[in-house]
Structure 1
Amino acid sequence: MPISLDTSLPPSLYPLAWLIGSWEGSGALSGADGTAAGSRDVRIEQQLVCTAREDGALDWRSTIHRVDAPAPLPPTSAFAREEAQAPPAGSGERTLLHREDGIWTVGDLVPGQDRAAAAAARPGTPESVLSHQLDARFSRRGEPEEQWAGEVRGPRVQLALASPDGEIAATRMFGYISGRLMWLWERRTPVADGAPGETALSPYLSVEMHRV
């Protein structure tokens, strides 16, 4: 599905034009019933609204509910695991997982980008796409604000959250694919059977959304 550019948007938001609007969809919360081997993914449902701000930034408002039901099958569940037997159907009860507000700000071009070459390239080719720096601040009630940084390149976003010691504590990856918004959130967690203190990034949730 082609991306329509709203020319009334502030030019700073052109790189995120594909994200602006209202979305909803479902996905998987990884290992939601525990951390032991065999823990199962459960279903989540998300409502997302992305709105252009007058100052050229983007407002992000996300509401995610956990649903007492098995997670959707791939590709919606990007990290689904094979089960020896089908998981229980669940009650379908919805529980708020979190509400999140954010502000996204598109920055300068990522170093090494050639604006002139991109302008001369045939539209729609990889050479015509530029990467911009991206900052995002997320806040959830009762938790400190998080400052994420990354880049947007075409209909793709990569963001990372740094820990106080400079290690990557979490990542978020977004992609606009065939009219759907796909995204994956990973968090750093202890490695099962790993060395003391050993951690690695592992899936936290993944969602497939459609535009409302």
Structure 2
Amino acid sequence: MTFTIADDVAPELYPLAWLLGSWRGPGVLAYPGIPERGIVADMVVTHDGGPYLAYTTTLRLGERVDHEAPFDPEALVAGEIWSRESGFWRPATGSEARPVQGAPADGPAPTAIEVLATDPSGFAAVLDGSAQGPRIDVASDWVASTATSPGRVTAIRRMYGWVRGEIFWAHELAAFGHELANYASGRLARVAD
């Protein structure tokens, strides 16, 4: 599936332009000390003509859906909010792409990117890495948690991939005294803006 880049998207954003839009899909939440459960993920990525993207994501508890089965994003039933996050994505102009474990070693030249992420549960993070073709790999460079955050987050790693018009994603987290481990994953389909 192809997509069209709008005329008002800054050229620096072309390697990230496939993220633009509203997305929804099923996923699974599984982390040490948290029972495995189904989730529904919503992601909205926008731009205002500047050299960055703004985003929000919301994970809600939901039914477990087979990752391989076709799904209708509009028909997914989402329940209680599990987490929210917002921030900005931008190319790291003038920087070398930071290698991230698991990132592809071949293909088009990677574009260095930075992500600024905030979560209302009390943490903020700076992630950096690369966009390489239809794949993005980022890992935390800096994470800060407030004194009242329910679980001190110490590291984050994320992967996003464009596959046949959908975004497949995986988030890893080190928090609550645990080492970096799978936290949530799923797939997203574009929904009407």
TM-score range, shorter chain: 0.7 to 0.9
Task: Tell me the equivalent position of 1:173.
Answer: 159
Counterpart for residue 174 of structure 2: 188
1:144 pairs with 2:130: no
Specify which structure has the higher proportion of strand.
2
Residue 16 in structure 1 maps to residue 16 in structure 2:
yes
The letter of the residue matching 1:106 is P
In structure 1, distance between residues paired with 2:125 and 2:92: 18
Match of 1:66 among 28, 52, 61: 61
Runs (4+) of structure 1 exceeding 2 A deviation are: 2-8, 71-76, 108-112
Higher Cα Rg, which structure: 1
Q: Give structure 1 stretches of 5+ with no counterpart.
A: 77-91, 113-125, 191-196
Q: CA RMSD in A?
A: 2.7
Residue 202 of structure 1 pairs with residue 181 of structure 2 = yes
**Any unmatched runs of 5+ in structure 2?**
70-76, 98-105, 144-153
Q: Tell me which amino acid in the other structure corresponds to 2:25.
A: G
Give the alignment's TM-score, normalised by structure 1: 0.68
Partner Cα distance (1:189, 1:140) in 2: 14
1:5 partner SS: coil
Tell me the CA shift for residue 95 of structure 1.
1.2
Partner residue in 1 for 2:89: 104
Deviation for aligned residue 1:148: 1.0
| Alpha-carbon shift at residue 17 of structure 1 (Å) | 1.0
- Identity in percent: 25
User: Aligned partners of 2:166 and 2:78: how far apart in 1?
Assistant: 26
